[in-house]
A and B are shown apart, each in its own frame.
Chain A
Amino acid sequence: MNKLFELLKFKIKSTINLEKIKKMKKINLLFFGFIFLYFGFSLTFSITMITDGAINATKEYGLTFYLIPLFFVMISFFLFQLSIFNTKSIMYSARDNDLLLSLPIPSKSILMSRVLITLLWNFLISLFIMLPMLITYAVRVGVSFDFVIMSLVTLIILPIIPTILASIFGYLIAFLTTKSNASKWIEYVLSLGMILFFVLIFSNIESILMYVVNNFDKIENFIKYGFYSIYLVIEMFSKSSYLSLILCLIINFGLFFIFLHALNLNYKKLLSRLNEKKTKTKFQLKKLKHTQAKQILFFKEAKRYFSSPIYVFNTLFGVIIMLIGSLAVFFTDKKDIINLIKEGGLNLNLFSVVILMVTFIAFLSNTSCASISIEGKNLWILKSLPIKLKSIIVTKVMFNFIVMIIPIIISIFAFSFVFGFSMIEMLFLILVAIISLGCSSMFGIIINLKFPKLDAIDDTVVVKRSLSVIIATMLPLILIMTLGTIYPFIEKYISLNNYLIILFSIVFVLNIVQIIIINTWAPKRLQEIN
C-alpha cells in the first residue's frame, strides 16, 4: 500500500510539475490564469444553459427526475470516449514499464497506480461538467438533503465504469498488438469504429430520445436488466432510495475490484509480451529512391503523424466528422437542416453556418501545435542536419495545412453542391478555409515553439495534455465563442456578412504578422530549444 501511495504521489507530482509553475514569470502566470478562468467560465456557462434547456424540455413530459441519470449516462459516454485513447499508453505501453517492473513493486501496485491516475483524470473532468449541472438542477427543481447526498455519491461513482470499460478497450488493443504486427491498423480500425459509433448515436439523438419517450416502459426494463447501475441511479433520484444508493456503491466498487483482480492475473505477462520485438530474418537492399530534401522532410512528417493513432484521431476528429456530415447532407432534406439550425437557436442562413463550421474545424484541427514536442529526443537529428531551421518550421506548417485542407475542400464542394451555393460563395468558402487554416497552422507552430514539451513519456502526453496543444485549441475556441456572443449585441449596427468580412480581414492581417514571426523569431527559437 505504501509503495502504491509513493508511486501515485510521484506520478501526480511529475504530471503537475509544480516546480515549473513556480519558475514561471508572474505575467505568464497571470495570462494563463486568465485564459483558464475564462475558458472555465465559458464552459460552465454553456453547461448551465444546456441543463436549463433540458429541464424546460423534460418538464413538459414530467420526466425531470430522469435528467440526472441521463447526464450520468452522457458523461459516462464522454469519459469513455476520452479515455479509450489514453488507456493503452498509460496502462500498457507506458515508457516506464521496464523501470517499474525492475523495482521491488508488486505488479498489482503498478496496475492500481495507473488505473487510479486514469480514474483521477476522469473524476476531475466529470466534476467540472457535473457540478454546474447538479447546481442548476438543484436551483431549478429544488434541493433536499437526500439530493445532496445522492449527488455526491453520483459524482464519486461516475468515472468508475467508463474507466473500467476504457481500460478493457485499451487491454484489447494491447493484447491484439502482441498477436499481430499490424498493431497500428488494429488501433486505427477499433478507434475509427468507436468514432463512427458515437457519430451514429449523436446524429440520431433526436429519434433516440423520441423512442425513449414513446417506449418508456420497455426502456426502463432494458436499463434495469441491461445496465443495472444506471437503473439504480434512476431509482436513487426518482425515489430517494438509500437502498439503491448502497447497492450502487457496492456494484461500482465491487466491479472495480473484480476488474483490478482479473486484469492483474495477466498484467505482468502482457507487459512483458508487449516488450517482445518482432523482426524479419532477411533483408535485401532493393533499389533506393532519391527524394529532394524538402520533400523528404514532408514525408518524414507524414510518417511520424500517421504512425501515432492518438495524434491522428486527436487532430483529425473534427475533420472526419465534417466530412461525414458533408456526405450525410446528400441524403438529408435541406428543409430539415434549416429547421435543425433554427431549433439550435441559431438565426443564421446555411452559408453562414458553413462558414462558421469551416472556421471552427480549421482552428480546432491542429497538428502543428504538437509537431515540435512530438520530435522529443529526436529533435537533434533535424537540428544537426544541413537544413535551414526555417525549412523545418515551414514543413510542419505546410503539413498541417495540406492534411486539413483536402478534406475541408471536399466538404465545401459537397455543401456547395447540396445547398446550391453560387461559384462566388464556394470560392469565398475556400478562401475562408485557406485563411483560417493558414492562421491556425502558423499559430500552432509558434505556440509550440514557445512552449515545447520534449520530455513527454509518450505521444498521449504531448497530444492531449501539453500546454501548447491546450492553448492552440482553447484560445481560438474562446475567441470564436466570444465573437459569437458579442454579435447579437451589435446586430443592429452591422450585418452578419460585414461582421464576418471584418473578422476574416483581421485573420488575414494576423497571417501576415505570423509569417513575419516565422521568418524572424521562430528559427532563432528553434535553435534555442534543446
Chain B
Amino acid sequence: MLEIKDFSKTYGKGGKKAVDKLNLKVKKGEIYGFIGHNGAGKTTTIKAMVGIIDFEEGKIKIDKHSIKTDPILCKQKIAYIPDNPDIYENVRGIDYLNFIADIFNVSLQDREIAINKYASEFDIFDNLGDLVSTYSHGMKQKLVIISALLHDPLLVIMDEPFVGLDPTSAFKLKKIMKDMCKKGVSFLFSSHVLEVVEKLCDKVAIIKKGKLIASGTVKEIKGDKSLEDLFVELND
C-alpha cells in the first residue's frame, strides 16, 4: 500500500539532511508505528508521504502510484491527520466536514451516514453546528479524524493522532483502526506513546536523526524487552 524507497529530504540549499535514505513498506491491512525523538524526521517523512512537502531524492508510492508524479490519484486514496488540528476557524464543524466530502466527491448518502456514525462515536455531533473557533483542541482533533474517515481511504497516515484526545475517544479511535484494518485499510502513525504503539501496531519503524535504525514486526524489534526500553537503548 505504501512504499518508500531511499527517501531523503534536505531543507534549504546545503542544509543538513532531515531524512536520509529512508526505506519503508506498509502492506494492506497493516498498522505501522513510526517512532523517534523530537526532530528525528517523522513529521517531514509523513508530510512528504501525503504530498505536502516536496522532496528531491527517493520514491514514495501509494498503491503503486508515485506521490510525486500522480499526486491527485494518491491523495484520493489516502487520509491525513496532522500533528496539530489547525483547521478553518471561521466555519461550522459540519461545513468543514461537508467541504472535505465535496472535495473527495463523497455521495450525499455516504457522507451523511459517515458523519452521523463518527460524530456520534466521538461525541461531537451536538457541536457540529458551532463555529470551529469555539472548539477545544481535542474537539478539533476529533473533527479532523472524522474528516479523514469520510471518504473510505485505503491508507490513513497520522501524526500523533492521540494527542489531545480524551481516553474514551482514544479507545474508540483504536477500535476504529482495528475494524478498518480487517477491511484492508492500512495505517501508519507516529506517536510518542510507546505503549499504544506496542499494543496496536503490527510493525514498527524507529527513526533517529533522519535515519531508519530499526524496522520490522513489533515482536522482532523488541524481543524480550519492552518497546520503551529498546527505544531508550537505541537512542542513547
Contact = CB atoms under 8 A, between A and B. Distances in A.
Interface string B29-70: 000000000000000000100111110000000000000000
Interface stretch (B99-107, B168-176, B184-192, B202-210): B99-107
A288 B72 contact: no
Interface in A310-332: none
A370 to B, nearest CB: 15
B129 A296 contact: no
Interface of B: 47, 50-54, 71-73, 75-76, 80, 82, 84, 86-88, 90-91, 94-95, 98-105, 107-108, 111-112, 115-116, 125-130, 133-134
Contacts of B104: 385-386
B111 to A, nearest CB: 6
A210 interface: no
Given A285-B115, A385-B103, A303 B108 contact: no
A373 B82 CA distance: 19
4 smallest beta-carbon distances between A and B, as pairs: A307-B90, A277-B134, A283-B129, A377-B86
Nearest to B148: A384
A394 to B, nearest CB: 15
Given A282-B126, A388-B72, A528-B54, A378 B102 contact: no
Contact of B88 (A291, A304, A385, A524): A304
A530 B134 contact: no
Nearest to B54: A527
7 contacts: A280-B129, A287-B108, A288-B108, A303-B90, A380-B52, A384-B80, A387-B72
Contact of A384 (B50, B101, B107, B127): B50
B83 to A, nearest CB: 10
A141 interface: no
Contact of B94 (A285, A292, A528): A285
Contacts of B107: 290
Nearest to A280: B129
A284 to B, nearest CB: 8
B134 A278 contact: yes
Contacts of B90: 303-304, 307-308
B52 A280 contact: no
Nearest to B53: A530
B84 A296 contact: no
Interface residues of A, number: 38
Contact of A290 (B52, B80, B94, B102): B102
A380 B82 contact: yes
A383 interface: yes
Contact of B112 (A285, A303, A376): A285
Contact of B102 (A278, A293, A381): A293
Interface of A: 277-285, 287-293, 296-297, 300, 303-304, 307-308, 376-378, 380-381, 383-388, 524, 527-528, 530
A288 B98 CA distance: 7
Contacts of A383: 51-52
A281 B126 CA distance: 7
Contacts of B128: 283, 285
B211 to A, nearest CB: 22
A530 B82 CA distance: 13
Contacts of B53: 527, 530
Contacts of B103: 293, 296-297, 385-387
Contacts of B87: 378, 381
B217 to A, nearest CB: 29
B75 A385 contact: yes
B33 to A, nearest CB: 21
Given A283-B94, A385-B103, A530-B52, 6 more contacts: A287-B108, A289-B98, A291-B102, A296-B103, A385-B100, A388-B72
A60 to B, nearest CB: 55
A279 B127 contact: yes
A287 B111 CA distance: 11
A372 B136 CA distance: 26
Contact of A292 (B54, B99, B102): B102
A287 B112 CA distance: 8
Contact of B116 (A281, A285, A292): A285
B14 to A, nearest CB: 13
Contacts of B71: 386
Contacts of A386: 71-73, 75-76, 103-104
A23 to B, nearest CB: 10
A300 B88 contact: yes
Given A281-B126, A283-B127, A387-B72, A380 B86 contact: yes
Contacts of B99: 296, 300
